[in-house]
Chain A
Amino acid sequence: MLNENIAMVGDRTIPPKDARFISISIMGQEYKVPETLTIIKAMEYAGYQFKRGCGCRGGICGACGTFYRIQGDHNLYTGLACQTVVQPGMNLAQIPFFPANRADHVDLHLEKMPPDERIATLYPEIFKCVACGTCTRTCPMGIDVMNYIALFKRGDILEGAKQSFDCIMCGLCVVRCPANISQMKVAMAARRLAATQLVPRSKVTKDRAKLVREGRYEAMLAELGQMDTDKLKEIYVSREREPNLSEPGEWMPKDQSHL
């Protein structure tokens, strides 16, 4: 048992003052940790150091998918370790990685194939889906995984790509799928195909890409490459930024020499 008086140790874990201690179980081992910590901080508090299974700590990189149960409740829950607060009686294991099937979706032999057939050819296992819905119940992002697989099965790649857009590739659906489908990889391929073949091309992007290819930015990049670190920091800090909530196309920088 950990000494409850050493509440301030542990990597970057700063428990709130007067935090109560709760009992949780990490991979079968019981620990007392201060309440209000996220799973990842609680694990660090317990002495874990992360090399895998931890990334942005902001709920968006998908590295820290975690399964847990609560004592006395048969249900299985999921969450991101960096976003989920520990609860008394939590019995958890992080899944830093799980083997998934990633088909070669840039296979040149398939390039001429329409996107729906290509997905069916790359990932024929989607047709083994029995619609049990376990993936949907598993997703910590609240994506209706089963529904996007259903959309791929009937060839609606664009809608499936849209519905899977919030996926952070944590892979917890892949862990649970009884049909051995790697849903996140299918959706990634679908989003790529949708973006390259189904979504209308943006003229602005095309024009900009042309400028890049013509070498419009070579000199500027070379100049940055030569710059000393302090100067770089200075111009980075003083750079003009588009306000977070400005309407598309409304904001223009004062210095337009790069456009």
Chain B
Amino acid sequence: MPENMTHVPYYPGCTLKSKALGYERSAMDCARSLGFEMHEIEKWNCCGASFPLTKDNLMGLTAPTNILIETEQHCKERDIDAKLITLCSFCYNTLKRTDFAFREEPGKLKTLNEFLNREYKGNVTVIHYLEYLRDVIGFDNLSKMVKTDLSHLRVAPYYGCLLLKPQKELGLDDPEEPVILHDFLDALGCQVIDFPGQVDCCGAYLIMRNPDKVLELSHNILEEASEYGAQTIVTACPLCQSNLDQSEAVRGEMPILYFTQLLAVALGLETEQHQFESHCIDPKSLISSCKKFKEFSDAK
């Protein structure tokens, strides 16, 4: 399999290199097992973490534009599809919206190219890892690769904001009634807990200024998920994970996982490097309750 592995350029973002190492490692391990290899682009900077909301503020677009330029070069050198995969919701949101802004208003790109004294041709498609699973691998195919029995697990999908909104610019899924994580969890064979708080805001970067408010907002989400019977929550966003996890440490014992960490368990991969120990609520006992299907249990 490694021979014909699809080469997919990958933008990690700062958090995945520091606080969310487990997210990156699990995603990369799963990718390899699913037949694609995520290749970090050679040179990258912080995406800026927030898309500028003042329309004329092009300075806020310089960071994502530099990333798109590096991606374009990476792909050109290798003669591959200019498709950039991301994991962090913040990075996905910022890069995708920048790309959208350039498609809508090419004048902005012209100004930025002149300012940066570099050239972005506008050829990169920014996608989320979930999107790759849904549209390239396919959830049906994914379900056939599951090696661990998760049928007893009651998992609540939590989307947060930046993965879905604004829909017009991101276009990943419905912002109020999303299904992509539901379908993903379905494919893994676990019980999907559909709860109303799945698209509520966790408080995001208010954690720096007003941690009490964040604990309150996250607490509500956790309470709701618990009431609906969830044993664990999965998310795609490092900040949601961190806020929910910290809030849960005050409230209860429900582990908050990255969706890729659960995917790694489902695919029967070695998860020692996936940093479960860095979570406030240790998911190990929950994970160890998941056994491989008989036909895989003896396979080395």
Residue positions of A touching B, CB distance < 8 A: 116, 127, 129-133, 137, 144, 146-147, 149-150, 153-156, 178
Q: Is the CB of A154 within 8 A of B17?
A: yes
Q: Is the CB of A131 within 8 A of B46?
A: yes
Q: Is the CB of B44 within 8 A of A155?
A: no
User: How distant is B187 from chain A, measured CB to nearest CB, in Å?
Assistant: 32
Q: Is the CB of A150 within 8 A of B116?
A: no
* Given known A-B contacts A130-B59, A131-B63, A153 and B46 have beta carbons under 8 A apart: yes
**Residues of the A chain whose Cβ atoms lie less than 8 Å from the Cβ of B118:** 133
Residue of A nearest to B62 (CB): A132
Other-chain residue from A147, A155, A178 in contact with B17 (beta carbon distance below 8 A): A155
A77 and B59 alpha carbons, distance in the complex (Å): 21
A129 and B62 alpha carbons, distance in the complex (Å): 10
Interface of A is mostly: loop
Q: Is the CB of A133 within 8 A of B48?
A: no
Other-chain residue from A144, A147, A154 in contact with B18 (beta carbon distance below 8 A): A154
**Residues of the A chain whose Cβ atoms lie less than 8 Å from the Cβ of B44:** 150
* Given known A-B contacts A116-B18, A154-B18, A155-B18, A147 and B43 have beta carbons under 8 A apart: yes
**Considering the complex, which residues of chain B in the window 20-47 have a beta carbon less than 8 Å from any beta carbon of chain A?**
43-46
Q: Is the CB of B14 within 8 A of A130?
A: no
Instruction: Please tell me if B60 contacts chain A, counting CB pairs below 8 Å.
Output: yes
Q: Is the CB of B46 within 8 A of A150?
A: yes
Instruction: Please tell me if B115 contacts chain A, counting CB pairs below 8 Å.
Output: yes
Residue of B nearest to A120 (CB): B18
**Residues of the B chain whose Cβ atoms lie less than 8 Å from the Cβ of A154:** 14, 17-18, 46
Instruction: Please tell me if B241 contacts chain A, counting CB pairs below 8 Å.
Output: no
Residue of A nearest to B118 (CB): A133
**Residues of the A chain whose Cβ atoms lie less than 8 Å from the Cβ of B14:** 153-155
Residue positions of B touching A, CB distance < 8 A: 14, 17-18, 43-46, 48, 59-60, 62-63, 66, 115-118
Other-chain residue from B18, B48, B63, B117 in contact with A137 (beta carbon distance below 8 A): B117
A154 and B60 alpha carbons, distance in the complex (Å): 19
A23 and B288 alpha carbons, distance in the complex (Å): 79
Q: Is the CB of B116 within 8 A of A132?
A: yes
User: How distant is B15 from chain A, measured CB to nearest CB, in Å?
Assistant: 8
Other-chain residue from B18, B60, B62 in contact with A133 (beta carbon distance below 8 A): B62
Residue of B nearest to A137 (CB): B117
**Residues of the B chain whose Cβ atoms lie less than 8 Å from the Cβ of A130:** 48, 59-60, 62-63
* Given known A-B contacts A147-B45, A153-B46, A131 and B66 have beta carbons under 8 A apart: yes
From A116, A129, A131, residue with most partner B Cβ within 10 Å: A131
Q: Is the CB of A132 within 8 A of B59?
A: yes
Q: Is the CB of B46 within 8 A of A133?
A: no
User: How distant is A138 from chain B, measured CB to nearest CB, in Å?
Assistant: 11
A116 and B62 alpha carbons, distance in the complex (Å): 25
From B60, B66, B115, residue with most partner A Cβ within 10 Å: B66
A127 and B15 alpha carbons, distance in the complex (Å): 13
5 further A-B contacts with Cβ under 8 Å, apart from A133-B117, A133-B118, A146-B66, are A130-B60, A131-B66, A132-B59, A150-B46, A154-B46
Residue of A nearest to B117 (CB): A137
**Residues of the A chain whose Cβ atoms lie less than 8 Å from the Cβ of B60:** 130
The 3 A-B pairs at the shortest CB distance, nearest first, are namely: A131-B63, A150-B45, A154-B14
* Given known A-B contacts A147-B43, A154-B14, A155-B17, A133 and B66 have beta carbons under 8 A apart: yes
A133 and B113 alpha carbons, distance in the complex (Å): 12
**Residues of the A chain whose Cβ atoms lie less than 8 Å from the Cβ of B59:** 130, 132, 178
**Residues of the A chain whose Cβ atoms lie less than 8 Å from the Cβ of B45:** 129, 131, 146-147, 149-150, 153
User: How distant is B114 from chain A, measured CB to nearest CB, in Å?
Assistant: 11
A149 and B45 alpha carbons, distance in the complex (Å): 8
* Given known A-B contacts A116-B18, A153-B14, A154-B17, A129 and B116 have beta carbons under 8 A apart: no
User: How distant is B179 from chain A, measured CB to nearest CB, in Å?
Assistant: 33
**Residues of the B chain whose Cβ atoms lie less than 8 Å from the Cβ of A147:** 43, 45
A150 and B63 alpha carbons, distance in the complex (Å): 10
**Residues of the B chain whose Cβ atoms lie less than 8 Å from the Cβ of A127:** 46
**Residues of the A chain whose Cβ atoms lie less than 8 Å from the Cβ of B115:** 132
A137 and B43 alpha carbons, distance in the complex (Å): 16
User: How distant is A215 from chain B, measured CB to nearest CB, in Å?
Assistant: 46
User: How distant is A132 from chain B, measured CB to nearest CB, in Å?
Assistant: 4
**Residues of the B chain whose Cβ atoms lie less than 8 Å from the Cβ of A133:** 62, 66, 116-118
A2 and B115 alpha carbons, distance in the complex (Å): 39
From A137, A150, A155, residue with most partner B Cβ within 10 Å: A150
Residue of B nearest to A178 (CB): B59
A153 and B46 alpha carbons, distance in the complex (Å): 8
Give 27 A-B contacts (CB < 8 Å), ordered by A residue. A116-B18, A127-B46, A129-B45, A129-B63, A130-B60, A130-B63, A131-B45, A131-B46, A131-B48, A131-B63, A131-B66, A133-B62, A133-B116, A137-B117, A144-B43, A146-B66, A147-B45, A149-B45, A150-B46, A153-B14, A153-B45, A154-B17, A154-B18, A155-B14, A155-B18, A156-B17, A178-B59
Residue of A nearest to B47 (CB): A131
**Residues of the B chain whose Cβ atoms lie less than 8 Å from the Cβ of A150:** 44-46
Q: Is the CB of B17 within 8 A of A131?
A: no
A116 and B21 alpha carbons, distance in the complex (Å): 15
